[in-house]
C-alpha cells in the first residue's frame, strides 16, 4: 500500500507539471483574447477617459482571477501524498485490533485530515522509528505511558509498533507458560490462562489511546462541520454581493474579504467538499461576469504574486542543502501546494520564475530518490549480513551437546549471535520479516532442545534421588541389626549400589551422602564395639567349643530321626552361642565340627535337604524375631527365588538351540545339571518361605 501511494505521488506531481504548462498556455491565449475584446468594446461604445481606464483593468483582472480559480485545487479533494513512510509502519498496522466499519471510516478521515494538515505546515512532524522488540513487557508498558503524554496525533506509528511488539512478547510468555504446564504433566484441555497484570495494564493504556484518538477524530469532524457552516455562510454573502448595487470599490473590497475568509476557513467533510467548491467556483465566475477590475489593479496583483513566488523559489533553494532529504521532499510538497494557490505573474516573467522553482524542485526530488536508493543498498547489505548469521547459527546448532558444560558454551555463542543481529539494521522490506522468522525459528529450536536436555537431566536426578533415599532407609534399618556378618554383606552391597547410581542435584547431594554415611558409621561402630567385647572372651569360647565338640563325638544317637535332628540342632545352637575363638583355631574347629555333623547325617541317614531345613529353622529362631526382620527375610528369599526361576527359564529355552554333536551333548549335560540344581534350590526356597510364614504365625499366636 505504501509503495502504491509513493508511485501515485510521483504520477500526481508529473501530471500537475503538465497541467500547469497547459494552463499557462491557455492563460496566455485567454489574456490575449480578452485584451483584444476590451479594445474592441472601447472603440465601439466610445467610453469616457475614466471608463476607458477602468474597463480594461476590470476585464483583465476577471481573466486573471478566473485563471486563479481554475488553478486552485481544494485540499479536501486532492490532498498531496507524502513520501513513503518507514518500513515499520505496515508492520505496526497489523498489530492493531480489527476496527468496525464506522471506526475504520473515522480512522481514514482522521488520517486524511492529518495528511492535509501536514501538507500546509512549513515543518511537518517526522515521527521517529523505535525498535520496541528488545524491551521487556514491563518496559513496553512504561514506554506506552510515556507516549500517551504526547499529542495523540503524533504517536500513531509508535503505538502500533509498540502494540505489535507487546503482542509478540505476550504470545511468547503465554506459549512458555503453556509448554511449562504441559511439561509438568498438565492436560492440554485443562489448561487455564493465568492472570496477566502487565497485559491488563497495557490494554487499559491502549484503550485510553483509542479513546483519546476517537475524541480527536470527533473534534476534527466537529471542526469540519463548523468550517462547512462558515463556508456556506460565505457563499450566501457572495450571492448577496453579486446582487448588490454598491459602488465598485466597496464590492471589490468585500469580495477580497470573502476570498480571504474562504482561504482561512479550515477543511470541510469530504462528502461536501466537491459540491461546495463547485458552488464557490460558479459564484466567483458570476461575480467576475458582473464586476470588472481595472488593469492597473491587475498589474499590482501580478506584482504581489511575483513576490510570493520568488519567496517560494528561495525557500525551495534552501531545501536543496537540507540535512534531511526526506524532510525536504515533504516540505517541497507544501511549497507546491502554496504555488498553486498564488495567481499568475506577468507573461514575460512566467517561464523564468517557473523554471527557477522547477529546477530547485528537481534537485530536491533527485536527492530524495538518491536517499532511498542508498537506503535500499544498505538494506541489501544488512540482508546479506543477516543471512550469514543464519548460516552460522545453523552450523553452530547442528551438533547436539552432550553435557551441561557444552550446552552452556553453545548458549553463550548463540547469545553472541543474537547480540550481533540486534546491531544490524533493517533488511529489505520484502525480506526483513522472512529472515527474522528464519533466525528466530532456529533460536527457538535451540532453546527447545536445551530445555528438553535439562528436563531429561532433571528427571534422571529425581530418579537417582529417590533411589538414594531408598538406600538411606535400608542402611538405617541395617544399622540397627546384630547379625553382623549378613548385615555387613548387605551394607557393602548397598555401598556398591550407591556408587553405581548417578548424580543428583547439588543441593541434595551432600545431605543424602551425610545421611547414608551416618547409617554406615553407626553400624560399623556398633560392630566394632561388639567384636572388641567378644574378642576378650576368645580363650573361654575356645574351651567351650572344645568341650561341645568332645561331647558331640561321644554322644550316642537312637533310632528316632526327629529326636536325632533335635539333638543335632541343639549342638549347632550351643556351638553358635559359644561365640568367637582365636583366628588361629577358628578354621580347625569349624572344619572338625562340620565333619562330625556330616558324619552323623550319613550315619543317621538324614538328607542334606533335611539338614538345610533344620539349619534354616534354627536360623529363624535365633535371628528372625519380629515383623520387620521377617519382612526383610521374606524379600531376600523372594529375590533369590525370582532369579533362580528366571535362570531356569532361560536354560530350558536354550536347550532347544543345541545341535546334535558330541560337544553339544556335553554342554547339554552341564546345563541339565545346572537346571536340576536350580530346581532343588527353588524347592528348598519355597520350603523356607513356608517355614518363615509358619514361624511368624506361631510367633503371633504366642503374643496373642
- Separation between Cα atoms, residue 346 and residue 70, nearest integer Å: 17
Cα–Cα distance measured from residue 426 to residue 439, given in angstroms and rounded to the nearest whole number: 14
Buried b / exposed e across 18-56, counting CB within 10 Å, b at 16+? eebeebbeebeebbeebeeebeeeeeeeeeeeeebebbb
The residues, any chain, with a CB within 8 Å of residue 27's CB and separated by 6 or more, are 63, 67, 344
DSSP class of residue 127 equals P
Q: Quick one: how far is CA 607 from the chain centroid?
A: 78
> Which residue in 555, 639, 638, 647 sits closest to 597, CA to CA?
555
Residue 622 has pLDDT above 90, yes or no: no
Q: Which of 477, 519, 462, 528 shows the shortest CA–CA distance to 495?
A: 519
The three cell numbers of residue 4 are 502504491
Mean of the pLDDT values across residues 657-684?
71
Cβ(55)–Cβ(42) below 8 Å: yes
What per-residue confidence (pLDDT) applies to 291? 62
Residues 565-577 have pLDDT tens digits of 778 878 888 887 7
Least confident interval from 110-124, 420-434, 438-452: 110-124
Using DSSP, state whether 64 is helix, strand or coil: helix
| pLDDT at 657 (0 to 100) | 62
Tens-place pLDDT, residues 155-169: 898 999 999 999 999
For the chain, what is the total number of helices (H) and then of strands (E)?
A: 22, 0
Helices 197-243/248-264 angle, 10° precision: 170
And the C-alpha cell for 625?
A: 524375631
Q: Please name the residue that has the C-alpha cell 554406615.
A: 520
C-alpha cell at 438: 528464519
Q: Which of 702, 698, 644, 701 is nearest to 676 (CA)?
A: 644
Instruction: State the Cα–Cα distance between residues 193 and 699, nearest whole angstrom.
Output: 60
d(CA 275, CA 362): 35
DSSP string, 545-592: HHHHHHHHHH----S-HHHHHHHHHHHHHHHHHT----HHHHHHHHHH
Q: Give the model's pLDDT for residue 168.
A: 93
CA 645 to chain centre: 56
When mean pLDDT is compared over 53-57, 171-175, 299-303, 579-583, the highest value belongs to 171-175
pLDDT at residue 413 in the model: 82
Grid coordinates standing for 215? Answer: 475524541
The pLDDT of residue 645 is: 84
**Sign (positive/negative) of CA torsion 678, 680, 682, 685?**
negative
Of residues 91 and 696, more confidence is placed in 696
Three cell numbers, residue 527: 560392630
- In this predicted model, which residue has the larger pLDDT, 291 or 509? 509
Return the pLDDT at 42: 38
State pLDDT tens for residues 250-271: 777 888 899 898 988 888 888 8
What does the alpha-carbon distance between residue 343 and residue 60 come to, in Å, rounded to a whole number? 13
The pLDDT score that the predictor gives to residue 456 is 78
pLDDT of residue 613: 67
Q: Return the C-alpha cell found at 547.
A: 568341650
pLDDT in tens, 104-149: 444 444 444 444 444 444 456 778 888 888 899 999 999 999 989 9
Other Cβ atoms less than 10 A from the Cβ of 366: the count is 12
Whether the pLDDT of residue 203 is over 90: the answer is: yes
Whether the predicted pLDDT of 321 surpasses 50: yes
Q: Which of 65-69, 272-276, 314-318 has the lowest mean pLDDT?
A: 65-69
Instruction: Flag whether pLDDT at 92 surpasses 50.
Output: no
Rounded percentage of the chain residues whose pLDDT exceeds 90: 11
CA distance 323 to 105: 37
Reduced to 3 states (helix: H, G, I; strand: E, B; else coil), residue 344 is coil
Confidence band for 532, pLDDT divided at 50, 70 and 90: low
Given the C-alpha cell 479533494, which residue does it identify? 77
Let me know the angle formed at the C-alpha of 256 by 253 and 260, rounded to the nearest 5 degrees. Answer: 140
Least confident window among 145-149, 280-284, 682-686: 682-686
In this predicted structure, the answer to whether residue 643 has a pLDDT above a threshold of 90 is no
d(CA 67, CA 61): 10
Nearest to 524 by CA among 471, 592, 475, 575: 475
Place of cell 446582487: 243
pLDDT for position 164: 93
Mean pLDDT of the chain: 75
Q: What is the pLDDT of residue 359?
A: 92
Handedness of CA 385, 386, 387, 393 (dihedral sign): positive
Q: What are phi and psi of 626, to 5 degrees?
A: -145, 175
Q: pLDDT, tens digit, for every residue of 207-262?
A: 999 999 999 999 999 999 899 999 889 999 888 888 877 776 777 788 889 989 89
Distance in angstroms (rounded) separating the CA atoms of residues 133 and 421: 12
Q: Smallest Cα–Cα separation from 68: which of 284, 323, 377?
A: 284
pLDDT surpasses 60 at 29: no
- What are the Cα distances from residue 303, in Å, to 27, 284, 312, 343? 17, 22, 14, 10
Rounded CA-CA distance 223/434 in Å is 44
Amino acid at each position: 500500500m505504501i509503495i502504491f501511494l509513493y508511485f501515485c505521488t510521483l504520477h500526481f506531481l508529473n501530471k500537475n507539471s503538465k497541467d500547469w504548462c497547459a494552463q499557462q498556455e491557455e492563460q496566455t491565449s485567454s489574456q490575449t483574447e480578452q485584451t483584444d475584446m476590451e479594445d474592441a468594446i472601447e472603440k465601439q461604445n466610445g467610453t469616457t477617459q475614466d471608463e476607458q481606464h477602468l474597463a480594461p483593468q476590470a476585464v483583465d483582472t476577471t481573466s486573471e482571477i478566473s485563471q486563479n480559480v481554475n488553478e486552485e485545487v481544494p485540499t479536501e479533494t486532492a490532498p498531496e501524498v507524502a513520501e513513503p513512510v518507514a518500513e515499520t509502519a505496515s508492520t505496526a498496522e497489523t498489530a492493531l485490533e480489527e476496527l468496525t466499519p464506522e471506526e475504520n471510516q473515522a480512522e481514514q478521515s482522521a488520517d486524511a485530515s492529518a495528511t492535509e494538515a501536514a501538507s500546509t505546515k512549513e515543518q511537518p512532524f517526522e515521527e521517529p522509528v523505535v525498535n520496541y522488540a528488545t524491551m521487556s513487557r514491563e518496559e513496553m508498558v512504561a514506554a506506552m505511558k510515556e507516549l500517551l503524554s504526547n499529542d495523540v496525533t503524533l504517536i500513531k506509528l509508535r503505538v502500533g509498533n509498540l502494540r505489535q511488539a507487546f503482542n509478540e512478547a505476550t504470545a511468547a510468555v503465554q506459549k512458555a507458560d503453556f509448554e511449562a504446564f504441559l511439561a509438568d504433566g498438565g492436560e492440554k484441555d485443562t489448561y487455564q490462562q493465568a492472570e496477566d497484570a502487565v497485559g491488563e495494564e497495557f490494554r487499559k493504556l491502549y484503550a485510553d489511546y483509542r479513546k483519546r484518538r476517537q475524541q480527536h477524530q470527533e473534534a476534527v469532524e466537529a471542526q469540519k462541520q463548523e468550517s462547512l457552516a462558515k463556508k456556506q455562510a460565505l457563499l450566501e454573502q457572495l450571492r448577496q454581493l453579486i446582487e448588490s448595487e454598491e459602488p465598485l470599490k466597496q464590492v471589490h473590497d468585500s469580495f477580497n474579504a470573502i476570498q480571504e475568509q474562504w482561504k482561512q476557513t479550515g477543511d470541510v467533510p469530504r462528502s461536501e467538499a466537491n459540491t461546495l467548491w463547485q458552488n464557490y467556483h460558479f459564484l466567483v465566475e458570476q461575480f467576475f461576469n458582473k464586476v470588472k477590475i481595472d488593469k492597473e489593479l491587475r498589474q499590482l496583483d501580478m506584482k504581489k504574486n511575483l513576490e510570493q513566488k520568488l519567496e517560494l523559489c528561495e525557500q525551495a533553494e534552501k531545501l536543496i542543502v537540507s540535512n534531511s532529504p526526506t524532510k525536504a521532499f515533504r516540505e517541497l510538497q507544501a511549497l507546491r501546494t502554496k504555488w498553486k494557490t498564488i495567481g499568475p505573474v506577468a507573461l514575460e516573467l512566467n517561464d523564468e520564475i517557473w523554471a527557477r522553482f522547477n529546477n530547485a524542485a528537481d534537485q530536491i526530488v533527485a536527492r530524495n530518490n538518491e536517499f532511498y536508493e542508498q537506503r535500499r543498498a544498505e538494506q541489501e547489505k544488512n540482508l546479506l549480513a543477516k543471512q550469514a548469521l543464519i548460516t552460522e547459527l545453523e552450523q553452530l546448532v547442528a551438533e547436539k551437546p552432550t553435557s551441561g558444560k557444552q550446552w552452556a558454551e553453545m548458549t553463550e555463542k548463540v547469545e553472541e549471535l543474537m547480540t550481533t543481529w540486534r546491531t544490524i539494521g533493517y533488511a529489505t522490506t520484502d525480506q526483513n520479516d522472512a529472515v527474522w522468522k528464519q533466525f528466530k525459528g532456529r533460536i527457538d529450536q535451540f532453546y527447545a532442545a536445551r530445555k528438553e536436555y535439562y528436563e531429561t537431566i532433571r528427571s534422571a536426578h529425581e530418579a537417582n534421588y529417590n533411589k538414594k533415599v531408598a538406600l538411606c532407609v535400608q542402611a538405617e534399618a541395617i544399622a540397627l541389626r546384630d547379625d553382623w556378618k549378613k548385615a555387613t554383606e548387605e551394607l557393602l552391597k548397598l555401598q556398591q549400589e550407591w556408587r553405581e547410581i548417578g548424580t543428583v542435584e547439588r543441593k541434595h547431594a551432600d545431605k543424602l551422602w551425610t545421611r547414608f554415611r551416618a547409617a554406615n558409621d553407626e553400624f560399623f561402630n556398633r560392630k566394632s564395639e561388639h567384636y572388641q567385647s567378644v574378642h576378650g572372651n576368645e580363650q573361654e569360647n575356645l574351651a567351650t567349643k572344645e568341650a561341645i565338640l568332645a561331647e558331640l563325638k561321644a554322644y550316642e544317637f537312637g533310632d528316632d530321626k526327629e529326636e536325632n535332628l533335635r539333638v543335632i540342632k541343639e549342638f549347632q545352637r550351643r556351638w553358635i552361642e559359644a561365640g568367637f575363638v582365636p583366628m588361629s583355631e577358628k578354621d580347625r574347629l569349624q572344619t572338625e565340627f562340620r565333619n562330625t555333623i556330616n558324619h552323623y547325617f550319613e550315619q543317621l541317614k538324614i538328607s542334606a535337604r533335611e539338614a538345610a531345613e533344620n539349619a534354616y529353622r534354627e536360623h529363624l529362631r535365633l535371628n528372625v524375631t519380629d515383623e520387620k526382620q521377617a519382612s526383610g527375610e521374606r524379600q531376600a528369599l523372594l529375590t533369590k527365588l525370582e532369579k533362580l526361576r528366571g535362570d531356569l527359564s532361560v536354560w530350558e529355552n536354550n536347550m532347544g538351540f543345541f545341535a546334535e554333536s558330541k560337544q553339544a551333548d556335553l554342554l547339554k549335560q552341564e546345563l541339565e545339571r545346572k537346571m536340576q540344581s536350580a530346581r532343588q534350590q527353588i524347592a528348598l526356597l519355597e520350603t523356607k518361605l513356608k517355614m518363615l510364614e509358619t514361624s511368624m504365625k506361631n510367633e503371633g499366636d504366642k503374643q496373642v
